[in-house]
Structure formats: C-alpha cells, structure tokens
Homo-oligomer: A and B are copies of this chain.
Amino acid sequence: MSLPRAKLVKNFPGCPVEATLTYLDGKWKGVILFHLMEGTLRFNELRRKLPAVTQRMLTKQLRELEESGLVSRTVYPVVPPRVEYAMTPLGMTLKPVIQALAAWGDAYVFCSPEGRELRLASDGLRAPVAALEA
C-alpha cells in the first residue's frame, strides 16, 4: 500500500533501478533522507527545513519511510510531545545513493532565475549521440 509501483514488480523484471526508486518515490522523501543523513531531527525541526511541506504530507512521507524500515520514529512520552526521526542502519546504506543523486543534481540541475523551474545544464552535452546520416 501507498506503493502502487511495488505491486508491479513483475513489470520491471529484475530491474534494480526501479526497485530502489520505489522506496524513494514520494514528493518529499528525497529531501527528508537528505536531511536525516546529517543526523536525527524532531518533527518540527524537519518541518522548518521544508518550508512548503504541510503537516499532513510530512507525516505521510515519514510514515512511509518508517514502514520501509529506512527511518525510525522514537516517541518520548513527555509533554509537549517529543518525536525524533533518525535513519536506521538500513537507511544508512542508502548514503551512496543519496550522495550520487545529490552530486548529479549539484552538477547539472539549476533553477531558473525566478526559482520556479528546474533546468538541466545543457552546455554542449545536450546534443544527440548519433547524428542522422542519410
């Protein structure tokens, strides 16, 4: 549930790329993992790092990451409530993946001046590999 892609494994026979993407899929999972890689965070600390996320969405994404076993949720029974989110050891194994994603993003993606769109660096790299010859 909440992972419709996961139900379709048979569709990507043996494709480990899609398998991994299944777990990263969700609008905020990338950023969340990115921040949690640096250390444990409380719910609202995370929220402050994601200016535009709603509580509902943040909760949803975190619950999915928890269900996947990538992130742990620790509730301290105090008041006001204190809930800490941290990477699990399994989640930590994603570090190279997150780093690769981050490195590529840093190198090739930039925002348009207005900050509303993503663009890829096209510096000569964008030409097709094969030219059409007669």
Contact = CB atoms under 8 A, between A and B. Distances in A.
Interface residues of A, number: 78
How many monomers of this protein are in the complex? 2
A30 to B, nearest CB: 4
A85 B4 CA distance: 27
A103 to B, nearest CB: 7
A79 interface: no
Contact of A89 (B40, B75, B118, B129): B129
A102 B10 contact: no
Nearest to A5: B27
Interface string A87-108: 1111011101111111111111
B9 A31 contact: no
Contacts of A117: 6-7, 9
A55 B70 CA distance: 35
Interface in A4-55: 5-13, 15-25, 27-28, 30-31, 33-34, 40, 50-53
A126 B90 contact: yes
Contacts of A88: 125-129
Interface of A: 3, 5-13, 15-25, 27-28, 30-31, 33-34, 40, 50-53, 68-70, 72, 74-76, 84, 86-90, 92-94, 96-109, 111, 115-118, 120-122, 124-130, 132
